[in-house]
Amino acid sequence: MERRVIKIGTRKSKLAMWQANYVADLLDAGGFQPQLMPIETKGDKIQHVALSKIGSKGVFTEELETMLRRGQIDIAVHSAKDLQSKLPDGFKVLAFCERESPDDVIVSDKEIDLNNPKLILGTSSTRRIAMLKHYYPHITTVDVRGNLQTRLEKMKTGSMDGLVLAYAGVRRMDYDHLVRYWFDTERFIPPVGQGSVAIEIHETIDKEVADKIKKATNHALTEKMLLTERAFLRRMDGGCSIPVFGHAQMEMDGQIILKGGIASLDGRQLIQRTMYGSNPEELGTSLADEILQSGGKKVLDDIKSTISK
């Protein structure tokens, strides 16, 4: 019996291709014939500008969504953390693949001492910059863009001592040997979705096909945690230019524990709360409401005012 071809839209970077091939393997095992369709997105093409300056919505997803809408691809594969909090009409996340460790790490080709007053770390993330300023105000940060390999090459020029990266990408690209420091997720809370690969579809896809794709690729526990985190992010109205963070885990008793918050761009204000619940949507929304009512709304408004100038 001939297998149904599933065209997979993906970015061209090595990490994005790893993710697409990972999904392709799951689809192959699920009885499909996967076909990769790699493209360059706006976020890939503009390397000399910080992400926060390009615009926070659809930087790495817009072109793939256009292809989904036109039927040129069946699914789009993304890092879940790159997905905007509110998808355009007609689009939805079909599946979340099993999550890798969501931690942030420092990679370097030399030893790293976080107490070193001359330490320089590279990152393009407003969240990481804000949290570094809050917990380690003596550390200098420099903006560094590009795929993982490009960032490592920039680090080797000596302009920075190390890079702050998601461990998931580091592991997937076999750079574990360069990890010099693991951030404590109790304080250095990851961004929503970090560590998981997400599959996006357009409403025009055949429902039966979509159901079979989900069955082949979705990880139920990861899905529940990420639906919680994304409900939080959606209510917080956060994008990649806003230092919002959130991480959900399943407790032994079946309850979800969600930790999240927001930081000011200069790191001086950091509002963080923890909440328990069983309903992902309600828990994520409730935690966001508490943070917004506890000073987070003013921090968010101040950030948006600064960005719009």
Supply the angle between the helices 14-29 and 207-217 in degrees, to the nearest 10: 110
Query: Which residues carry out catalysis?
Result: 81-82, 127-128, 145, 151, 240
User: 257 φ, ψ to 5°?
Assistant: -105, 125
Residue 201: partners with Cβ closer than 8 Å, 6 or more residues away = 68, 74, 75, 76, 91, 92, 94, 210, 213
> Which amino acid is located at 77 in the chain?
V
List the one residue out of 184, 19, 201 whose CA is nearest residue 99. 19
The size of the chain, in residues, is: 309
Q: 154 near 94, Cβ under 8 Å? A: no
DSSP 194-246: TT-EEEEEETTS-HHHHHHHHHHH--HHHHHHHHHHHHHHHHHT--TTS-EEE
Answer whether 181's CB lies under 8 Å from 121's CB.
no
Sheet containing 5-11: give its strands across: 33-39, 5-11, 75-79, 197-202, 91-96
End-to-end CA distance of the chain: 59
CA distance 152 to 108: 8
